[in-house]
Structure 1
């Protein structure tokens, strides 16, 4: 599903060039649960941004669903990003005056979906929040707020869920609940999950661990599974 070949990312800061990624080669098959580990500055978040079409490689190739996406126009990238990828971050990014259902509806409003309330409710059921649909963020625990954020990312039926330090603001018990949920989404619903973390305890929930240092992959615990999931949507 995901194939990166000799990908680099160089940022220029004045006269200094920062090599955030230096020749990354990575394949991720459909239905995999992959943890990308590394210390701050290792390049793991930059790699996630490129996978999720939030950033472009400086050089190298990126194929998604068998299609080269490294040179897509901004409009084409935005369409593919909105339909094929879901994003979860450490901060929940919930709006204070909106209920859980309304939060999850937001991506569908932008898409103009007519059945958005039904789909939003179904997404909340997927993450075990069917009894919290009308609750505001202040009425939810930290773990429940993160589940709302996950439901919001799932409501567009993405092929890939990208999670950047999703447990960073959670206690140990809530962290376990959240990571168990992500594992169930992979095992029971066939979702592909790419998790960025610096915590070994969190990475242990994944089926495969990729370690990064200085913009390079220095360890990969396993080859990708044979992809059984469908290719990305046509543009």
Structure 2
């Protein structure tokens, strides 16, 4: 009874909120909040940018097949990775350069994360690859404790690396991606991870969640396909639901 009441209250909370915008495609892969306040949205045919935290969008990259399944920031570099795509911009997204790093067996990238020169990539056929030099060279790795996956959400939080293989929950590594341990998570179907102000956020099939010292707290009820946390202001989030609607918290 109490569980049903809690779910009802969460549902009423979600209904009381209204989306701030809409993306033109439901193929919502990735969101990235830049330090300058702009928000990037990666989809099947490029990248869009919003200057008002998700209310309106305009094309930054529009190219058939430029499938930005993952967006990452490494210092001044913005990285976009996806189906046969690995590109970088060092001028805020105005121009992009295709990358062909050494050691990456193929370029069908179904997961990508970067932080302080460390890059982790998931290639659809050949598995996980790790770079310690900013993505110039990669080495194949077989992380202990991490299930095989065709798609994974990834995020660095300081020295900790989080990976959520699709449909298999959440895992963390504190040794650079060599070994992983499972993390108790509120659901197994995880679509997005984001880190903001030392807090881990998770978006999945049933909701938006924040990790706390005593467990996970649900912030929103519904499917979350893409998620971004403000790089400076704690608690500010933008996410896209299963209908392509854009939401902001708070």
Q: TM class, shorter-chain normalised?
A: 0.3 to 0.5
Structure having the larger proportion of residues in helix: 1
Structure having the larger proportion of residues in strand: 2
**TM-score, normalized by length of structure 2?**
0.31
Q: Which has the higher contact order (CA 8 A, sep 6+)?
A: 1
**TM-score, normalized by length of structure 1?**
0.33
